[in-house]
Amino acid sequence: MQSMKKVTFLPLLFLAVFALGTMSFRAERKVIAVVFNKEMTKQDLVSLQQNLREKNIILVFNKMTFTKNRLTYIDFSIDFGDGFSGTSKSTITRKTEVGFIRDYNDDAEQPFVVGNLKQK
């Protein structure tokens, strides 16, 4: 009878560890989100582009306009290399939220958004 308890206990322990491991994995969100704003300089954008390139994500700036070294217009394309890509162009104001979001999580409501990020 004692050996039967050991056999039952080990699978339950394994199940508990497996469930905890899964929950902690889900708590860790894998999302890349970028919002272009009026405070960004050309150097900020080049730095962002380089950081994304290191993750094999290609951000191309087709056109950028600056006033007093601050972003006022952007035309860009983004390619995540996994089937998700897009383009957007917009005037940048304090009220606009233009950019992109890539949510790599399996339960993502929207795995990819590009352009206007404000919910309507």
Coil vs helix vs strand at 78 = strand
The per-residue pLDDT string of the chain (120 residues; one tens digit each, 9 = 90 and over) reads 444 444 444 443 444 333 333 333 334 568 999 999 999 999 999 999 999 999 999 999 999 999 999 999 999 999 999 999 999 999 999 888 899 999 999 888 999 999 998 754
**Token match 């404000």: residue?**
118
CB-neighbour burial class of residue 40 (10 A; exposed 0-12, middle 13-18, buried 19+): buried
Are residues 81 and 18 in contact, defined by beta-carbon separation less than 8 angstroms? no
Sheet holding 70-79, edge to edge: 58-67, 70-79, 85-91
- Strands (DSSP E) along the chain, which ranges? 31-36, 58-67, 70-79, 85-91, 98-103, 112-116
Asked if 102 and 32 touch (Cβ cutoff 8 Å), the reply is yes
Residue 2 token pair: 């004692």
Predicted TM-score (pTM) of the model is 0.73
